[in-house]
Amino acid sequence: MAGKAHVDDSVIERRLRPIYEWLDAGNNKKAVQEADKVLKKQASLPCARVLKGLALLRLGKRDECEGLVAAVVKEAPTDEATLQALTICFRELHQPEQICRVYETATKKEPGNEELLSHLFMAYVRVSNYRNQHQTAMRLFKLKPKNPYYFWAVMSHVMQGVKSGDQKGREVSLLLAERMVNNFVKEGKIEAEAEVLTYLHILETQGKYAEALSVVEGELGNKVVHQPGNFLRLKRATYHTHLGQWQAAADVYRDLIKDEHDNWQHYVGYIRAVMEISGRHSPTHSLNPPSSTGVCSGSDNSSIGGFGGSDNSTGGCGGSDKSSVSNGGEDSGCDTCDKEDPVATAAAHLAAVRKAASTQEYPDRGPFLGVIHLASTLHHHGDHTLSDTLCGDLMELLLSYITSYGDKMCCYADITQYLPNLPQERIAPFLEKVEGLVNRREDGVPLDVKAMYRDLCLVQLSRALGQHEHLSPQEHIQLADSLVNRYSQTLELTSNMADTDIRPGDAYLLLAAHSYLRGAGVREGNTTHPNPHVLLRVAAILERGIVVSRANFQLKLLLIKVYNMLGASEISHTVYEKCDLKHIQLDTLGHTLALQALDAANYTAAADIFSATLKFFMANYKDTSDPLISSYKYGSLTRIPEFVEFRERLSNSLHFATVTAEQMLLDITNEISSHSQLVEAVSQLDIDPATDKTCWDDLRDNRDLRVMDTWDPPHRQLQEVEVNANVSSEVSLLKLRNLTLRLVAAACRLTSHSSSNKASIRDHQHRSSSTKKDSNSECVNGETCGATDDATLLADLTTRLHQESQSCAQYRASSSPQLPLQGPDPSRIHLYASCNLVGVIVRHSEVLQQVHKSCTQSQGVSGEVLKAAKGEVEAAVAAGLAEAQQLAVATLVAACSKESAAEGEATQSETNNDNTFDSLSSDLSKLSLATSSPPLPRHGLERLHHLAQTLGVAAALLGCCHSLLRPIKASTSKKNKKRKDPVITPGVMTEFSSYLTTLSSQIHQLKEALSTQHKAVKAALEQHTKEEYTCLDLTSPLTGPEDAKTIGSQMELSYLKSLERLTASIANKLKYISSLRL
């Protein structure tokens, strides 16, 4: 029997091979054909049937695939090939649970099959079923007593603990894991490095540092052989630190410094330990000394030791604090009190290290910065005199550092965290001395590249030390001009650099751009009217910089920001594409351009970016599952909690949730022009009106807000509180969006003729198998409406939406703060809330509810409700109309023209009665920069976009009304038949119709106004093109008429396209609403 099966196997394998090949080649049709061929010969061959199913699935025939697969599953296959094929199938069907079922059945049939059991284990890993993982691993271990199996079981306990909701469960699971390893240790069964690392991980997670210390110092430590050389010592130092054994920690770190004098973490650990020994306790747990700024310096969870960041959060801190109290005294006690201050010893030691390093041909920076770090830490503790005595004067130390390393690009970044310790009165002399280090030509231009770096360092330090804080707007502009000049003058010094390198001088442009933007009023409480002329000039300069330094992403990121400010998202998108953002960057840098494109009505770019972004997030589950399995296979067990944490952080990304919602809203509003289209679009989407699965408390802000360079003094940099406020406003908007989507879905369900129950079951199944959100993480704080029927649900959602918008009142009153340049763009909710558009949706939903009631309960429709809706939408459209008429798109170039500038000079005193601008106008208008700043088109475009979307939602709700009223209208028009039908006052029909007529004519006006603007921009574009944009003055030392031509035309083209799409979108609404006549 066995022999026969074996023969069969090889034949089968040969027959199946072509199917695999076609599948691999992506030719699914051929794969189906090939499978059919095999099945003709051997109709029951399970693997061939599954492979056919897989090919069908990939061809989009999900139902057929499920049928084939279900039949095979029923037969309970146990052969490797079929099971593997099923695994792939279920993975692609997003039904990982099914993989477990299949292997459970198979292992029941063949309980002694090691291979099958290990697949079952991996299947549980895929769905994070830690309990079953553990059981399976133990079954494996009993079957074949191999260490890895045992440790799979150990790690399953660990994960069960780490992911356990309650503290008790966590402790128990971790303790169980520890015991399991302890038993193995006692029996002398520990073999591999991975096992020791797992042991350490378990102890660390529980805060058992004393035990961990004895492991690394004992026999088991010898098993760690493949790690970097400092691994064990770093572990020891970390454990001593956690235990408050400061002397021991200091000793280890001192040795580490001796061997690795450029490895910075050793200095940080050493100096902290020494400070503790001497009784100068660090006030916080922070290991970074006098860190100057909010979010931008110092990663909040950088850990001291070699182990993963998750360790810190999972239990380290609490335990270590306690032990530092109890043990700290012993170590630092009496043996130090009659001796020299340990800080003095440390200072002497660090000085010696520095001396030794200075004999190197190219001295490493670590030893030099180490002394500064100690001095700075002492200053921070108020020990100014001691610092001066032991380390020398801080200013002199910094100066000597700059003397040595000021010609490196990184010099500023190296010392920036120490600048706040420089006394105010030393700043001027300090900068004077730094200036003295710059080799200049007679005209002040740096002599060579090294001098350039020094010059840049000087400018950067001046800015960071507050020297540019008191400049007037005019002086900011002048400073910026001089920096651009400096860039041009030094360009030739770097002409021989490779294309792939960034030019040192690029920093001049960045500094200049920051100054221009400051001078233009960006961030001076003046969010709506930064001077567009300055913005254009900055854009031109940055564009020039990018041509020279193609690799410089700092220039690109800033440029995207500037175009975003202008609302010229076509050009933002062009620059964005040059950044080539991919994969995780779509999350971390999604804030540079995604929603901005949407709001500026650049729907094509928005759809592109959204689609790539969503694709990345959808693949997250699969992309992280396979490595998780690999971690078990290759024994890198300590990475498992990290991978799981990473996966969850991505699936809880706020950006993901936002893009998901915005994409759906776009799908049901932008191109929809009839009710049937809407119903179809809504049914395609995965919206459950009854439940919002968002785990609001777990949403994560994954944006990288540290990537952009800034040299502002600490108080001007992005503050954590600003980021938090920005996040909560984005969350508020997301809540409004999700409620709106659910409202539309509920409305569709209410009016759909098919049984709503069926739909909800299908929705539910679809949802639970979806991988959009981690299907394994139980959603504890997502919320569900308790509504029992569709009408109550709609009413409930309407109330919720109303309440939610009330809670956004705070945003309505204020305009969105412009955050520092490295921060995100202004949050969107202020503008949205200020347009009162949620009211329009709420009112229309109320109309729908009334209409529904009148149809089902023979109630009349109150005219008041319709009137209220009418009032709300009329106001919104009227505001939009005004917005459309004022839109400064066609006039922007003219407003930045030379003539306009001259005009501004003449009428400077009366240019602007906007209070926020008063203070600037006197200075700025002297330049050719500020006249009466025309409002930027961006806000107008955004308002119109929001209006268009809202009208789309209103149209959807009216469409639902229509589908309720139409059958009644039809039946009443048949006259006298069936008097039992719900009575609808004929007045309702008339009112509804007249309402639609008014609304249509209003929207028509809006459309006309947009068309007029469109024509005006087109005319302006043609006119300006003919004149080669001579009217636009973007002259600077770097830019001229050519740049005006390029940027002016690109900008007008961008506006033209935005208007085109807005007009089309409004036209769709018009068509939709017009089609609803009864």
Partner 1 sequence: MTTLRPFRCEDMFHFNNVNLDPLTETYGLSFYLQYLAHWPEYFQVAESPSGIVMGYIMGKAEGHGENWHGHVTALTVAPEYRRLGLARQLMDILEDISEKKRCFFVDLFVRVSNRVAITMYKKLGYIVYRTVLQYYSGDPDEDAYDMRKALSRDVYAQSVVPLTHPVRPEDIE
Q: Give the gyration radius of the chain's Cα atoms.
A: 34
Kindly write out the interface string for residues 868-887 of this chain, putting x where it contacts partner 1 by CB under 8 A and - elsewhere: --------------------
What whole-number distance in Å separates Cα of residue 53 and Cα of residue 618? 22
Of 351, 579, 685, 727, the residue at the interface with partner 1 (CB under 8 A) is 579
Cα–Cα distances (Å) from 296 to 269, 635, 712, 714, 1020, in that order, read: 22, 36, 11, 9, 43
Q: Which stretch binds partner 1 (CB under 8 A): 143-151, 301-309, 855-863, 1007-1015?
A: 301-309
Based on CB atoms, which residue is closest to partner 1, 18 or 309?
Answer: 309
Residue nearer to partner 1 on the CB measure, 81 or 502: 502
Chain centroid to Cα 573, Å, comes to 18
CB 531 within 8 A of CB 518: no
CA distances 689 to 699, 757, 807, Å, are 20, 13, 21
Residue 218, classed as helix, strand or coil, is coil
Candidate list 3, 165, 228, 283; residue touching partner 1; CB under 8 A:
228
Query: Running DSSP on this structure, what letter comes out for residue 191?
Result: -
Tell which one of 84, 227, 286, 611 touches partner 1 (CB under 8 A): 227
Do 159 and 644 touch, CB atoms closer than 8 A? Answer: yes
Closest CA to 431 of 478, 404, 468: 468
Contact 816, 596 (CB under 8 A): no
- State the Cα–Cα distance between residues 312 and 319, nearest whole angstrom: 11
Place of tokens 């209409």: 851
The answer to whether residue 624 forms part of the interface with partner 1 (CB under 8 A) is: yes
Encoded one letter per residue, x for contact with partner 1 by CB under 8 A and - for no contact, window 1003-1042 reads ----------------------------------------
Angle, helix 147-162 to helix 603-634, in steps of 10 degrees? 130
Question: In this chain, which stretch among 290-298, 598-606, 1002-1010, 1035-1043 interacts with partner 1, using CB under 8 A?
Answer: 290-298
Q: Please, which residues bridge with residue 653 across strands? A: 700
In the stretch 550-569, what mask flags binding to partner 1 with x, by CB under 8 A? Answer: xxxx---x------------
Q: Rank residues 369 and 1070 by Cβ distance to partner 1 and give the closer one.
A: 369
Residue span binding partner 1 (CB under 8 A) among the ranges 178-186, 271-279, 385-393, 629-637: 629-637
* Total chain residues near partner 1 (CB under 8 A): 77
Which amino acid appears at position 494 of this protein? T
The answer to the question of residue 643 lying near partner 1 (CB under 8 A) is: yes
Contact at 8 Å (CB) between 743 and 797?
yes
For partner 1, the binding residue among 98, 156, 526, 702 (CB under 8 A) is 702
Contact 654, 734 (CB under 8 A): yes
List the one residue from 381, 476, 573, 639 that touches partner 1 (CB under 8 A): 639
Binding of partner 1 at residue 19 (CB under 8 A)?
Answer: no
Shortest Å, Cβ 219 to partner 1: 19
Position 589 contacts partner 1 (CB under 8 A) = yes
Over the window 302 to 341, marking each residue x when it contacts partner 1 by CB under 8 A and - when it does not, the resulting string is x---xxxx--------------------------------
Which one of 241, 324, 494, 620 is in contact with partner 1 (CB under 8 A)? 620
User: Which tokens in the block code for residue 259?
Assistant: 């061997």
Q: Would you say 413 or 902 has its CB closer to partner 1?
A: 413
Strand partners, 783: 692
CB of 126 to partner 1, least distance (A): 14
Q: If you write DSSP's letter for every residue of 499-559 in order, what string do you get?
A: TTSPPTTHHHHHHHHHHHHHHTTTTTT--S---HHHHHHHHHHHHHHHHH-TT-HHHHHHH
Which region, judged by CB under 8 A, interacts with partner 1, from 238-246, 499-507, 924-932, 977-985? 499-507
CA–CA gap between residue 79 and residue 1003 (Å, rounded): 65
- Which amino acid, residue 219? E
Q: At what angle do helices 937-973 and 675-684 cross, to 10 degrees?
A: 110
Of 162-170, 420-428, 616-624, 766-774, which part binds partner 1 (CB under 8 A)?
Answer: 616-624
Stretch that binds partner 1, among 9-17, 365-373, 846-854, 1040-1048 (CB under 8 A): 365-373
Residues 345/253, Cβ–Cβ less than 8 Å = no
Q: Round to whole Å and give the CA distance between 606 and 337.
A: 67
3-state secondary structure 226-240: CCCCCHHHHHHHHHH
Which C-beta is closer to partner 1: that of 228 or that of 786? 228
Site string for partner 1, 59-88 (x = CB under 8 A): ------------------------------
Q: How far is the CB of 96 from partner 1 (least distance, A)?
A: 16
Q: How far is the CB of 218 from partner 1 (least distance, A)?
A: 20
Which of residues 636 and 677 has its CB atom nearest to partner 1 in the complex?
A: 636
Hey, what are 942's tokens?
């955004």
What is the helix (H) or strand (E) element at residue 879, kind and residue range? helix 863-886
- Looking at residue 770, what DSSP letter applies? -
**Of 46-54, 235-243, 578-586, 857-865, which part binds partner 1 (CB under 8 A)?**
578-586
Contact 438, 446 (CB under 8 A): yes
Within positions 402 to 431, which residues make up the interface with partner 1, using CB under 8 A?
408-410, 413-414, 416-417
- Applying the rule CB under 8 A, the residues between 827 and 856 that interact with partner 1 are none
| Subset of 377-406 contacting partner 1 (CB under 8 A) | none
Which of helix, strand or coil describes residue 592? Answer: coil
Which position among 92, 104, 671, 704 is part of the footprint of partner 1 (CB under 8 A)? 704
Of these, 574, 636, 674, 916, which contacts partner 1 (CB under 8 A)? 636
Q: 524 vs 478, 496, 820, 892, 935, CA distance in Å? A: 18, 40, 10, 22, 16
B/e letters for 973-988, b = 16+ CB within 10 Å, e = fewer, are eeeeeeeeeeebeeeb
Stretch that binds partner 1, among 77-85, 291-299, 558-566, 919-927 (CB under 8 A): 291-299
Q: Which is nearer to partner 1, 709 or 923 (CB)?
A: 709
Two tokens at 310? 């998750």
Which is nearer to partner 1, 299 or 768 (by Cβ)?
Answer: 299
Only one of the segments 484-492, 646-654, 753-761, 771-779 lies at the binding site for partner 1 (rule: CB under 8 A); that segment is: 646-654
Q: Which of residues 760-819 bind partner 1 (CB under 8 A)?
A: none
Cα 352 to Cα 339: distance, rounded to the nearest angstrom: 20
C-beta of 775: minimal distance to partner 1 in Å? 18
Smaller CB separation from partner 1, 227 or 806: 227
DSSP assignment, residue 59? T
Residues within window 500-519 making contact with partner 1, judged by CB under 8 A: 500-502
Q: Among 175, 185, 437, 707, which residue interacts with partner 1 (rule: CB under 8 A)?
A: 707
Where does this chain touch partner 1 (CB under 8 A) — which range of 28-36, 64-72, 582-590, 754-762? Answer: 582-590
Beta partners for residue 440, in sequence order: 446
Residue whose CB is less far from partner 1, 116 or 268: 268
DSSP-assigned letter for residue 719: P
Map residues 245-264 to x or -, x wherever contact with partner 1 holds by CB under 8 A.
-----------------xxx
Residue 1038 to residues 483, 544, 572, Cα–Cα distance (Å): 11, 7, 21
Contacting partner 1 (CB under 8 A), which of 460, 631, 652, 818? 631
Of 92 and 645, the one with the shorter C-beta distance to partner 1 is 645
Give the C-alpha separation, 371 to 393, whole Å: 11
| Nearest Cα residue to 290 out of 185, 381, 367, 201 | 381
Q: Which of 251, 645, 914, 1028 binds partner 1 (CB under 8 A)?
A: 645
Report the run of H or E that residue 784 belongs to, with start and end: strand 783-784
Residue closer to partner 1 (CB basis): 172 or 612? 612
**Minimum distance between the CB of residue 501 and partner 1, rounded to whole angstroms?**
7
